[in-house]
Structures are given as C-alpha cells and as structure tokens.
C-alpha cells in the first residue's frame, strides 16, 4: 500500500463544562484512506499519548452506526460530508490529501460540552422519559405483538421513524437549535401503531413540553435536519407531530 494521507486537524479542546475551550491545530500523517474517522482520531490520540499530551476525548460505542454516540461536527456538517451515515461510518477516503478538517462538538444550549468533543445528551433521555414509551402490562397473559394486525404502510412508516438513534445531529445542525426531528420521530413511531394509542395524546403534549423546557429552539421548517440525519428521517414526521399536537390540544382526553 502506498503512503497514507497527511491531514491538518482543527479540534475543539475544552477541559470541562465550565472552562473556556478553544480550537487547537494538530497535524496527522500516515492516515489510511480505509480508516474510519474515529480510527483516524485514535491514531492522533496514540501520538498524543506517546508525547505525554492529553488525548482528545470523544464519544463512541458501537462504531457501526447504531448507538448514536459519535456526535461530531466535521467540516461544518453533523457527522461530516456524507449523507445517511454516522461519524463512525465515515471513511477517510471522503477527504482529500492535505485537507484541513474542523472537528467540533454539537453546539446546543441543551447539550453542554462535558469535555473536548463529548456532549451531555441527557436532554434527549429526559424527553424520552416524558412520553417516548408504551406502557405494556407484562405480567400474566401478554399479547404477542405479531398477533395484532397492522397495515403494511403504517408498519413501514413507524419503522422508518423508529430507526432514529437519538444521535442529536438534527438539533446540532438546525440553525434554530431545534430538536423537532428527534422528538417527532419518537412521537410518530408510536402514533402509527395500535400499541401507542393509549397514551397517544399525553405523549405528544408531554414530550413537546419537555423539549421546550430543555432549551431547544423552535422549528421553522428549514429542513437541514433531514439532510444531515444519519438515518434519513424525513421532516414528514414533524408534520405528523404538528397534527398530533394540534389534535391533542383541541381534545386532550383520548
């Protein structure tokens, strides 16, 4: 194999939530085009550790696009320049030799930076806890979910919404800092299924309330979220949430 790529990284370094951070420049060399973006940072971190410097802190877990942890704003875009992928699924062949790459954490009032590129996405957990669930009685004779007939189209739409991995790219990308795509995906997923009907109205009311309390911005239908979402979730879910919310306000009881 020929020699690896040389890159100039401009990475956000911040000690902790309270301290001021700044962009620090790091050159990296010998990067294979077949590496994933996270492996490239691993290479950088190895060299930092060898020099006795503090490695760059970043979140990751599955490294296969399903956990939603690898939140990074790469060259001005959430999860980097490719569409429908997370940072861990982004490969260095998407960059040019000698390129300067900016790497920043999600910027949102509701996602405080913990350290370097790691942010606290607890706001999403609290929104989920406010209503992103169905209460199913698990004791005694439970009904097999497969025994409930569901129209194919609804099942597909619910599944599309359910592919949201809660990564936060939508809120990080939105020029208004709005988390509508995430919340709407969670609301839609249940609104379309029979199991979600019992809590349908209070779910949307409570989740929107929590979303507002967390300090996210207001949606103005710019549509950047659906472009940057690694799961290609469409803003159609937002329209559905708007309808759900309107109906729930007109007639709050189920």
- SS3 of the chain: the string is CCCCEEEEEEEEECCCCCCCCEEEEEEEEEECCCCEHHHHHHHHHHHHHHCCCCCCCCCCCCCCCCCCCCCCEECCEECCCCCCCCHHHCEHHHCCCCCEEEEECCCECCECEEECCEECCHHHHHHHHHHCCCCCCCCCCCCCHHHCCCCHHHHHHHHHHHCCCCCCHHHHHCCCCCCHHHHHHHHHHHHCCHHHCCCHHHHHHHHHHHHHHCCCCCCCCCCHHHHHCCCCCCCHHHHHHHHHHHHHHHCCCC
Q: Which stretch binds ligand SF4 (CB under 6 A): 52-60, 158-166, 187-195, 197-205?
A: 158-166
Using CB under 6 A as the binding rule, whether residue 68 contacts ligand FES is answered as yes
**Residue 99 Cβ, how far from ligand FES at the closest point, in Å?**
21
Residue 60 interacts with ligand FES (CB under 6 A): yes or no: yes
From candidates 10, 47, 55, 63, binder to ligand FES by CB under 6 A: 63
Q: Does 150 bind ligand FES (CB under 6 A)?
A: no
Residue among 40, 229, 241, 248 that touches ligand SF4 (CB under 6 A): 229
Q: Nearest distance from residue 139's CB to ligand FES, in Å?
A: 34
- For residues 77 to 106, the per-residue mask of contacts with ligand FES, x marking binding by CB under 6 A and - elsewhere, is ---------xxx------------------
- Residues of the shown chain interacting with ligand SF4 in the complex, contacts defined by CB under 6 A: 164-170, 181-182, 185, 229-231, 233
């Amino acid at each position: 194999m020929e020699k690896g790529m040389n890159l100039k990284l401009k990475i956000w370094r911040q000690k902790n939530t309270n301290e001021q951070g700044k962009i620090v420049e790091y050159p990296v060399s010998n990067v294979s085009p077949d590496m994933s973006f996270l492996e490239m940072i691993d290479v950088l971190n190895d060299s930092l550790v060898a020099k006795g410097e503090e490695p760059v802190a970043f979140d990751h877990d599955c490294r296969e696009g399903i956990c939603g942890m690898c939140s990074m704003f790469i060259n001005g875009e959430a999860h980097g320049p490719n569409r429908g992928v997370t940072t861990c699924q982004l490969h260095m062949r998407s960059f040019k030799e000698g390129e300067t790459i900016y790497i920043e954490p999600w910027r949102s009032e509701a996602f405080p930076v913990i350290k370097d590129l790691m942010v606290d996405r607890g706001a999403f957990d609290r929104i989920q806890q406010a209503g992103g669930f169905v209460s199913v009685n698990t004791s005694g004779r439970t009904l097999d979910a497969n025994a409930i007939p569901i129209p194919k189209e609804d099942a597909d739409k619910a599944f599309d919404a359910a592919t949201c991995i809660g990564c936060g790219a939508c809120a990080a990308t939105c020029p208004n800092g709005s988390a509508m795509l995430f919340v709407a995906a969670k609301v839609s997923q249940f609104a379309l299924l029979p199991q979600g009907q019992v809590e349908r109205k209070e779910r949307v009311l409570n989740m929107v309330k929590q979303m507002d309390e967390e300090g996210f911005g207001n949606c103005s239908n710019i549509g950047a979220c659906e472009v940057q979402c690694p799961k290609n979730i469409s803003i159609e879910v937002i329209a559905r949430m708007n309808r759900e919310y309107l109906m729930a306000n007109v007639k709050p009881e189920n």
